[in-house]
Amino acid sequence: MEATWKKHLRKETLPLPFCPGCGHGILLGAILRAIDASGIDIKDMLFVSGIGCAGWIPSPHIKADTMHVTHGRPIAFATGAKLFNPRLKVMVVSGDGDLASIGGNHLIHAARRDIDMVVVCANNEIYGMTGGQVSPTTGLGVKTTTTLAGNVEPPLDLCRLVEAAGASYVARSTVFHLEHLIGILKKALGHKGFSFIDALSPCPVQYGRRNLYASPAEQLKDLEKRCVPLEKARSMTQEVLKGRIVIGEFVCRGEH
């Protein structure tokens, strides 16, 4: 029997366009499972996405209203749609380059307004579609096509950013921690206010092969190794946490 969440896919758009080993397909599955488990009618949902590989996660694969917009702007488009029709359940799915770099201003202000929408950052720590350039979430020392000797700029912690700006639900997970990821997506969908989910999703083609991962599976395992649950991280020093990814729920305020 087919899993019930698969009915939310437009079958004619399959297979997905993502490279072998890409995490974005897992993330798409997690989003649909969370929607299915929440009992939300997907017909009430609007998915807005920007430019880059992540922009193709909902568009056109999810059988609902989808809006694939210009680079960095999905949150601004979503803001207009949500304000005019508050009955819409709005989810933005886009990448780290889109949401954190070119669209950083919109991310900050939507969080400040605490506008009722879920923003999922499919964070692969690189610009995938354009050929593997450094992004604002690329770690120090990581090799990209624009940092051949290793990245010298410190990465941006998007969860801390939106928390400071006023987001009322903030969490991080990875496509490796599938059940955890589905759990926080579900929680975000049930939350009234601005929800932000930083979803780490590896890019084997642009990131993995330049940083000497033997295979997508190795990269995924390394992602797991880098992760520290928030509860555990609380008792760890900043020194020890350097280069690690803290996963969990950072902010959970107000109505659910």
Partner 1 sequence: MSPKIKNPLPPGNYFFEGNQACAEAAIAAGCRFFAGYPISPSSEIMERLSWRLPEVGGVFIQMEDEIASISAVIGAVWAGARAMTATSGPGLSLMLENIGYAIITETPCVIVDVQRAGPSTGQATRPYDGDIMQVKWGSSGDYQVIALAPWSVQEVYDLTIRAFNLAELYRVPVFVMSDAALAHLREDCRIPEGVDIVGRTKAKGVPHFGTEGPVGVPPMASFGEEEGLIITGSTHDKSGYRKTQDPNIQKDLVDRLNEKVLSNAKEIIQTEEHFLKGAEIVVVAYGLVARAALAAVKEARLGGINVGLLRLKTLWPFPKEEIRALRARRIIVPELNRGQLVREVERVTKVEVVYVNRVDGEVMGPGEILEAIKKQ
Nearer to partner 1 among residue 69 and residue 134 (C-beta): 69
Min dist. Cβ of residue 14 to partner 1 (A):
13
Cβ proximity to partner 1: between 92 and 233 the closer is 92
DSSP-derived secondary structure for 11-59: GGGPSP-PPTT-SHHHHHHHHHHHHHHHT--GGGEEEEE-SSGGGGTTT
Quick one: 129 or 142, whose CB is closer to partner 1?
Answer: 129
Nearest to 25 by CA among 36, 33, 17: 17
Based on CB atoms, which residue is closest to partner 1, 65 or 157? Answer: 65
Min. distance of Cβ 83 from partner 1 in angstroms?
A: 5
The residue behind tokens 């975000």 is 188
The binding site for partner 1 (CB under 8 A) comprises 10, 13, 43-44, 46, 48, 59-60, 63-70, 73, 76-85, 87-88, 105-106, 108-109
Helix (H, G, I), strand (E, B) or coil at 212: coil
Q: Give me the phi and psi of 163, to 5 degrees please.
A: -65, -50
DSSP letter for 148, please: T
**Nearest approach, Cβ of 80 to partner 1 (angstroms)?**
3
CB of 238 to partner 1, least distance (A): 32
